[in-house]
Every structure is written in C-alpha cells, then in structure tokens.
A and B are shown apart, each in its own frame.
Chain A
C-alpha cells in the first residue's frame, strides 16, 4: 500500500483527544472514471468526514446536503461499514462547512443534485473507511508487535485471533493520528459488508419527531431581525419607485431597504415584517413579460417545435422512413405546465454581514456556489464567508439555486442588521425556479409487424441555461440540457432523430426532482404503450425487443414481465407499464427502473392508484429502507403533478400562491400497496429520490389511457378522461 503525507486521508488529534479524519476528496473525485489517482494532489485543505471521541463515540460529518432524501444516512453507512465501526456508536451527524477548497474542483462542486451523493460517496467514503480500517489494524499490530495481516476488525474493535488480545478503536486514536494513512487500502467485498445493504433508519430522526430539529427557519440569536422582501410580481420587472413610510409606521419595523431583488422590510418579528411589507407602496416597471400568459407561452413553444435550435440524426434517417409507404406514422403531442417545488419549509436564509465578516445560515443544496455568489456580490474573498448548512424542509432542486442566500446577504449588508429573510408560502410559490413548461411532439413509424423503425422527437421549452444552478454554466449552451435530458429513448430504434427548441424568457426556470426526465420520459413511455396498442403487441415485449443489447435494462423488463404475469390485474382496474433510465451503457453512471401501475375509477368518475410495483437496478443498494422511502415519496410527488400542481402565468405573474390553488396530494390519494423488487448488483450505487417519478407518471397515465380509452396529452390530467 502506498502512503503519503500528500495522500487522500489525514487523521489528527483534537485538543479534546478526539480523532478527526479528513479526506482530500477533490482530486480523488475528478479521478472517478480513471483507474489511478492523479499524481498531483493539489491543495492542502481537507474535507472533514468523521470525529471519533476518546470514548469511541462517532460523529459523522455530512459533506452533502440532506433534504430528506437520506444521503447523510447512506454516506455514513458506507464510511462506517468500510472502517468496520460499530453503527451503534454513531451518536451525532454534523453538517460540513462550505469551503470550496475542501471539495472537488469541477463545476459541480458539492451541489447535491442528480442522485450523485451515493455515486460519489461510493468512491470517497468507502475509500476513507478502508484506509481507517487498515490504520487501526496497523496501529494494533505495532503495539502487539505482530503482523497486521492476521488481525481482524469489527464493531470498532481490532482483535488478534492468535493471542485473543483486543483493542477498541478509541484506544488506538493517538496511534492512528500519528500515522500516515494508506491511499489504496483494499475495499471490502459484498460478503464482508455489515452495514451497507441493511435497512437503517434515517439519522437525526429522533429530533425530527420531538420538534428539536432546527431548520433554516428556526435559526435565532440575540439581535436577529426578520425580513421580508417585496419582489416584482412580473418576471423581469423592476422597481420604478417606492414609498416606505407606511411600512416604517408599523410597530416593530426597523428598516426598509432596496435590494437587487426588490424592497426589504426588516422588523423585530415575522408578524411585524409581514404587516410592514403589506403597508409598502411599490410602483413596478413590469416590462414586456407582462404581456405573457401560460397560453401565449404554450403557443410560442408549440410554434418553435417547427424551427428547432438543435437537431441531430442520432441514428439513420427518420425522415426517409416516414416518407416510405410501408410504415404508418403515429404522432403524439404532449403539453406540460410550469411546476413549483413547494418545499414544506419555504425559502429562507439568515445572514449577518459586517464590515469585516459574513456569516450565513442557509438551508441550501448548493453551499459552494452560494458562497461564491455572495463573495462576488460583496466583493470579498470566499474564504471570508462562513456558511452553515442548516437542516432543510425539502429541496427537490429548489435549494440548488443560490438566489435566496445571496438576497439575505444583501439585505443584511444594506440594512446593517443580522437578518433572517423569510419567504411566505406565496413568495415561495410566485418566485420559484419552476420546472419549465414544455411542448413535446413525437412521430414514430411502425411497420405491419409492429416493429418500430423510426422515432422523431422534438422538445420545446424555456431556455434553462440563464438560470443554471451552477453560475459558471449560465448561458453556456451545454447548460440547456436540464430542459431536455431524458429525451433520447434507451430503445434501439434504427432511425432516431432528436431536436430541441429553446425560448428565452425572464420567468425563472430550473431543476425539479428528476429534471426534464419528468416530461421527456413521460412522453416517450406513453408513446411506446400507444404504439404497442396500435400494433396489438404486448407493451413489455415491445420494450424488451428494443433493449436486448442493454443487459441491465433487459433484466429490469424481464422482472417486470414476471411480476405482471404472476399478479393478475384486479377486477375492473387497468394496468400501465413504464420504463425509466439515466446514463450510458459504457459508463459507471447508469441506472434503470421498471414500473407497473394498477389504476381504477370510482363511481363518480374520479380515478385512484391501487398499487405500484417498481423493479429497480440502481446498482448496489446501500439502504433498502431509505430506498423504499424514496420510492414512496416519488409516487406522491408523481401524483401531485398528475392531479393538480400546475403553475399558471397570467399577465406575466404567477396566479397560484398557496396550497388552496396548488393542491398537494393527501394521505387519501396515496396507493395503499407499493411493492419494490431491487436488483441489488455490484454496479455503482445511484440515489433514488430523483428520477423514479419519471417512470411512475407514465405508468399511471398508460393505465388511465387504457381504462378510459382516451389519449392523455397534458398535465394535470383533470378533465381529459372520457
């Protein structure tokens, strides 16, 4: 094993006698798809991963953001399993600080999006754990003057089976802190895993049921004020003038300042801030977006389908196939509204900017770029900004945008007060970074035998690049893929043509649970089931035929077929299928899921989902319990968009403001039966929270189309059922 002071892992002793373990994960992460680590491990700053106190109790330091998706739990599982630590000694989880030097240098530096925490953690946290396990063994071997190879580890103990001597890990803390840690300690095999693969309850659950958990909204300290910002109702709007006298007359209001995003009212309490803001008089310069509505945007997007900005013959020449006489052309059109995240905890951020310091408490999925943006706004070094990631009440991609963090820092700087900028539900819903409206057209060519020859798909959406959650990517054409990722089917189709149309508008659009897969995969999978119906073919057979060359995908479909044949469709219900995937067969980054929905209708014509089956190949399964929770959550999230969470634009502003007109599903909407079959293989693990709903929605729609003999072409489904 190679060891180096410039290596991957460092252990030091704190003043209190605790072992502090840090990883230089930056270069290591960049080397993900290479066999070897890069030679130059630039930078000396390190990611803290773990503290082990003198009594052996362990604090896991969470470098990612945990919005409820369970990343902290699963990363701790990877680390503690690989180091052979006792899971019961895990007593606390702390959030890691945001310091860019500590993390990878690439453009996606520690943004917690895209199901990547498991994927990256499988590299860093496992590697760190293995290094520590070997260090504890080496330390014991040195004390006993025996060979390390004969020693065994487990439950935070090193034992020598020959002499029956034992050391608890914490007895070796000082030894390990003075050692050089191995860079390439061998990793455990699947059979040696003790914690990975086991159903583990979420860390920090207890404080979440006692009310002790502190979210961004709960940050408090003496002198802290509450601020609310009146933002332009129309996207792209500017302040023409404002009168703050009414606001200042409200008892408890201490200041009113103009900031980039609007007018901030700073008060002693939430209630005073809200009343003060209501008493503000602001005159807006609405700008041209005032002329726009959902209908006008949909018309523009639809028109733009005919003049795409980018197009590619991915395979063959679809146009020539459509011109041939032996295939019939089938066209599908799909329309999607804006969707808001509606995290249960609305956006908020606490900031305290003084002449020589800036401290921030933010419920953010994007701590590194939040710091970078604040540093730029204040004209200071990133190193002078301290950001604490708080617990957060849901994220779903909204908290990957740094707008609310930067705004709080500006309010504090301009007012001179430490402030917690609180967004009301209405603020949150009307100033979101929405999943874009989208129009999709798919044309496909089937022959008489039901074989799919050609597929032409066009996606038209609002250009997401100007709002990309990585500031470096803004206006980079590559950043547009958030708006059409998932458009390319996994299916082998001889003639495949894809095109994209981007419309620039000031309405803020971004990423929402599963990004564009939510609409692209929905359209693809509904289309496939329709084609199977037209051809009189079994929809899973049709998929299987086109996935033959992708063994992981083919296995998912095979298992789905077995489930379907073992379980007859309940009487008077209908069954829909769908498939979802991300990645490429040649990369480590790939995962697949298959979906069955059994759906019925009530006497009053309303519909319900009786049962959902999922077959999933997300690589190695870290926490089956967490996996199930994410599937259950994705089902509810999927239902929300089918049933009614649509954002409407009228006169350039968002109409919906609260749960009355943006209704979330309740417990009564939730299917009582959910069955999950995991293909737990040795491929790299992928998160579950994100893309799963992209397969659940089309499965439900396919069932509903069969049940009602209607084509469903828009979300929400509303009155489209016959």
Chain B
C-alpha cells in the first residue's frame, strides 16, 4: 500500500507499482489537468511538483512515492486565488490550444523559485517544456511578468531584454 499526499489530500494506492504517477493523478485521483504528451519525460506536459521539485510525472513510478507530497495544477491556486504565474499567463494571453500549459505553468513556478529574477539566458537554459502551438514568446513574457508580480515591491524586473 502506497500512501501519498496530493494537493494536501491523503490518498492510497495498491495497484501495479510500475504505473507512473501521471496515470494515478489522471485516473485514480481524477486530476486531469496534468496531461499525457509523450510518456518518456521529453515534453513536460505532465509536470507536477514532487516534494518541492518539478518532475515529469509520466516517468515517476508509483513504487517511489510512498510518503511523497505531490502538487498538481489543481493545487496551485491558494484560497481560490490564481497563483501569480497563472495570473501572468492570463495577462500575457499565453494559451493557444492550452494542452501543454498546465505543465508549462508548473515548470515555471518551480523555475521562479530557483531564479526569482531570471534573465533570458536563465529562461532559455532551464525552461524546456515543449509547445507545438509555439507560445514560447508569450511564455517568456509571462515568466518575466510573474517574476515582477512576485517582487516585494511589485516592481518590474529590468535585467535582460524583451521586445
């Protein structure tokens, strides 16, 4: 029996331990915001936070998750209020088809914890989620906007350059 916490709720699992976390989230927990895109950890559509790290849930077997704490896109808003990264995503009108965006947002949230005031080079080096609609330009702007929103002064970041 595997016990884990998802978005603060305690859940158990006693099925095939090879099954990746992605399918537990989608099919057992009913949290379909986390998407299947490739199944091999390449595209990032399934990105969630596992004990504070961004991971690609299609490549994390349930066997490794006893006692783990998982946050999905559904667990990101606090007190009914969108996370600053989600708000920035809306302000920059990022989504086209939107399928990859939950993963993009989860990756960006974790990235901004490590790089609270990122340069373009930081973004290029560390934000690796794929988007076939090609929303990368708006994603770059939204990451920078979210960084600015999170500054204590609420002021805007001045490093790097943007068109």
Asked whether A215 and B99 contact (CB < 8 A) given A270-B27, A394-B133, A658-B38, the answer is: yes
A217: chain B residues at CB < 8 Å are: 32, 35-36
B100: chain A residues at CB < 8 Å are: 344, 393
Give residues 28-73 of B contacting A (CB, 8 Å): 30-40, 42-43, 45, 72-73
Would B42 and A209 count as touching, CB distance under 8 A?
no
- Of the residues B34, B128, B133, contact of A211 by C-beta under 8 Å: B34
Give residues 104-121 of B contacting A (CB, 8 Å): 105, 120
B135: chain A residues at CB < 8 Å are: 629, 632-633
B131: chain A residues at CB < 8 Å are: 344, 636, 664
Would A69 and B96 count as touching, CB distance under 8 A?
yes
B134: chain A residues at CB < 8 Å are: 632-637, 665, 670
B145 in the interface (beta carbon within 8 A): no
A673: chain B residues at CB < 8 Å are: 163
Bound-state Cα–Cα, A218 to B134, Å: 23
- Of the residues B33, B35, B125, B140, contact of A393 by C-beta under 8 Å: B35
Closest to B87 in A: A209
B162: chain A residues at CB < 8 Å are: 672
Q: Mark A674-701, 1 if CB is under 8 A from B, else 0.
A: 1100000000000000000000000000
Asked whether A670 and B136 contact (CB < 8 A) given A202-B96, A217-B35, the answer is: yes
Would A660 and B40 count as touching, CB distance under 8 A?
yes
Bound-state Cα–Cα, A718 to B100, Å: 27
Bound-state Cα–Cα, A271 to B99, Å: 21
- Of the residues A220, A664, A675, contact of B132 by C-beta under 8 Å: A664
Min CB gap B28→A, angstroms: 9
- Of the residues B30, B98, B120, B163, contact of A674 by C-beta under 8 Å: B163
Q: Mark A459-491, 1 if CB is under 8 A from B, else 0.
A: 000000000000000000000000000000000
Would A667 and B136 count as touching, CB distance under 8 A?
yes
Bound-state Cα–Cα, A345 to B138, Å: 20
Asked whether A344 and B37 contact (CB < 8 A) given A209-B95, A270-B23, the answer is: yes
A394: chain B residues at CB < 8 Å are: 96-97, 99, 132-133
B123 in the interface (beta carbon within 8 A): yes
Would A424 and B39 count as touching, CB distance under 8 A?
yes
A393: chain B residues at CB < 8 Å are: 35, 97-100
B45: chain A residues at CB < 8 Å are: 344
Would B137 and A632 count as touching, CB distance under 8 A?
yes
- Of the residues A214, A345, A664, contact of B130 by C-beta under 8 Å: A664
B74: chain A residues at CB < 8 Å are: 210-212
Would A346 and B36 count as touching, CB distance under 8 A?
yes
Would A632 and B72 count as touching, CB distance under 8 A?
no
B124: chain A residues at CB < 8 Å are: 667-668
B132: chain A residues at CB < 8 Å are: 341-344, 394, 396, 637, 664
A508 in the interface (beta carbon within 8 A): no
Bound-state Cα–Cα, A450 to B162, Å: 41
A67 in the interface (beta carbon within 8 A): yes
Would B33 and A211 count as touching, CB distance under 8 A?
yes
Give residues 326-364 of A contacting B (CB, 8 Å): 341-346
Report the interface size for chain A: residues with CB under 8 A from the other chain: 64
Would A202 and B34 count as touching, CB distance under 8 A?
no
Would A210 and B33 count as touching, CB distance under 8 A?
yes
Would B138 and A629 count as touching, CB distance under 8 A?
yes
Would A344 and B99 count as touching, CB distance under 8 A?
yes
Would A211 and B39 count as touching, CB distance under 8 A?
no
A204: chain B residues at CB < 8 Å are: 98
A205 in the interface (beta carbon within 8 A): yes
A275: chain B residues at CB < 8 Å are: 16
Bound-state Cα–Cα, A70 to B94, Å: 12
A6: chain B residues at CB < 8 Å are: none
Q: Mark A607-645, 1 if CB is under 8 A from B, else 0.
A: 000000000000000000100010011111100000000
Would A213 and B42 count as touching, CB distance under 8 A?
no
- Of the residues A212, A395, A425, contact of B38 by C-beta under 8 Å: A425
B139 in the interface (beta carbon within 8 A): yes
A666: chain B residues at CB < 8 Å are: 127-130, 136
Asked whether A271 and B32 contact (CB < 8 A) given A210-B86, A394-B99, A629-B138, the answer is: no
Closest to A693 in B: B134
Give residues 366-418 of A contacting B (CB, 8 Å): 391-396
Closest to B88 in A: A209
Would A672 and B34 count as touching, CB distance under 8 A?
no
Would A633 and B96 count as touching, CB distance under 8 A?
yes
Bound-state Cα–Cα, A666 to B130, Å: 6
Closest to B106 in A: A211
Bound-state Cα–Cα, A470 to B119, Å: 48
A144 in the interface (beta carbon within 8 A): no
A269 in the interface (beta carbon within 8 A): yes
Closest to B123 in A: A667
B163: chain A residues at CB < 8 Å are: 672-675
Give residues 174-225 of A contacting B (CB, 8 Å): 201-202, 204-215, 217-218, 220
A425: chain B residues at CB < 8 Å are: 37-40
A308 in the interface (beta carbon within 8 A): no
8 further A-B contacts with Cβ under 8 Å, apart from A208-B95, A345-B35, A632-B136, are A70-B96, A205-B95, A206-B90, A269-B27, A392-B97, A422-B36, A659-B38, A666-B128
List chain A positions with a Cβ less than 8 A from chain B: 67-70, 201-202, 204-215, 217-218, 220, 251, 269-272, 275, 341-346, 391-396, 422, 424-425, 625, 629, 632-637, 658-660, 664-670, 672-675
Sample of 8 A–B contacts (CB below 8 Å): A68-B97, A207-B98, A211-B33, A394-B132, A396-B132, A636-B134, A658-B38, A666-B128
